[in-house]
Amino acid sequence: MAVCTMREALNQALSEEMERDERVFLMGEEVAEYQGAYKVSSGLLQKFGPKRVVDTPISESGFAGLGVGAAMMGLRPVVEFMTWSFSMVAYDQIVNNAGAIRYMSGGQYSIPIVFRGSSGAGLQVGATHSHTPENWYANVPALTVITPGFPDDAKGLLKSAIRSNNPVCFIENEKLYGFKDEVPDGEWIVPIGQARIRREGNDVTLIANSASTHVALGAAGKLAANGISAEVIDLRTIKPLDLPTILASVAKTNRVVIVEENKPFAGWGAQVAYEIQHRSFDHLDAPIERVTGLDVPQPYARVLEQAVMPSEERVIAAAEKSLA
């Protein structure tokens, strides 16, 4: 085991996969000469050269489309968006091209492409740079959507994503790039589509992803001090969704709080709530609670921004309400 940051874990995954398979290359804004906007690609240009680490113009639609074409021709591109908030400029390429070409070609083309980059609020970057779009892309049948919250998962899931023959949206939370934790040495692969129980509990299940998992874990620690045992599930992958792990926890605790940074309307938590009530209604002893970002554009002012985002206090209140 070695302790490293999230950005270092992602860098390891990219480097190892580029060494393993010469078809893998990285492209995006500032990934080469500047070493990445968040330094995730640090050292890769020097190691692999400008044909495999490619700086692009500020044209997300252009280089996303170029990546789709490269994938159709047998390469395995990793396309970095400086922020997923900018992916809306490339929505047509991600959804209608990467997301539909395999189906519309009758399986003649595979699209082994990874779109990755930062997302999320909390660092005072304003409403246009603070989106958490995993639910948008999970609505597209062909897209895999991954949202790691810890360095070991970031490394293992990115390696799995690069090896996948399907298009993957790999959504990293900007607040977590400097978060440190242990990452196993050597080859480390995390299977796509498996949630992880981060904390065992018996009284209430907290379901979260990405940075919200850390909020849920903090709330679980404070609930424990009051005699409430909370189980914390880190989804890791939004699409496909690990329903067996979720339903097994619900059958044990009989109460659920869903924690997501995104806005409440049509968030991934709404789908999870539907699946639980549809498949495990008889196990529920209380209505499902959701703690989300508030339904407003993300404020710039720090005090307002923190008020809009999920907090440990709001999660604790939701858990206590479900147990009342």
pTM (whole model) above 0.75: yes
Instruction: Give residue 1's pLDDT.
Output: 86
| Number of structural domains the chain divides into | 2
Instruction: Give residue 300's pLDDT.
Output: 95
- Please say which residue of 128, 161, 183 terminates a domain: 183
Instruction: Give residue 185's pLDDT.
Output: 84
- Structural domain harbouring 257: 196-323
Q: How far apart are CA 252 and CA 247, in angstroms?
A: 9
Question: What is the set of active-site residues?
Answer: 60, 129
Q: How far apart are CA 254 and CA 232, in angstroms?
A: 14
Instruction: Give residue 272's pLDDT.
Output: 98
Q: Are 17 and 126 found together in one domain? A: yes
Q: Is the peptide bond before 57 cis (omega within 30 degrees of 0)?
A: no
Round to the nearest angstrom and report the end-to-end CA distance of the chain: 42
Helix (H, G, I), strand (E, B) or coil at 89: helix
The stretches of 179-242 forming alpha helices (DSSP H) are 210-225
Whether 123 and 178 have beta carbons less than 8 Å apart is answered as no
- Closest by Cα among 36, 113, 131 to 70: 113
Instruction: Give residue 222's pLDDT.
Output: 98
Cα–Cα distances in Å, from 170 out to 72, 156, 204? Answer: 19, 12, 29
Q: Are 18 and 146 found together in one domain? A: yes
Instruction: Give residue 8's pLDDT.
Output: 98
Whether 316 and 323 have beta carbons less than 8 Å apart is answered as no
Q: Are 145 and 6 found together in one domain? A: yes
Instruction: Give residue 49's pLDDT.
Output: 98
The stretches of 165-242 forming alpha helices (DSSP H) are 210-225
- Please say which residue of 158, 183, 208 terminates a domain: 183
Which CATH number goes with the domain that contains 293? 3.40.50.920
Sign (positive or negative) of CA dihedral 176, 312, 237, 122: negative
Split the chain (324 residues) into runs of 10 and give each run's mean pLDDT.
96 98 98 96 98 97 98 98 96 97 96 97 93 97 97 98 98 97 94 98 98 98 98 98 98 98 96 98 98 96 95 98 96
Instruction: Give residue 186's pLDDT.
Output: 84
DSSP state of 299: P
Angle at which helices 268-280 and 243-253 cross, to 10°: 60
Instruction: Give residue 229's pLDDT.
Output: 98
User: Does 191 map to a domain?
Assistant: no
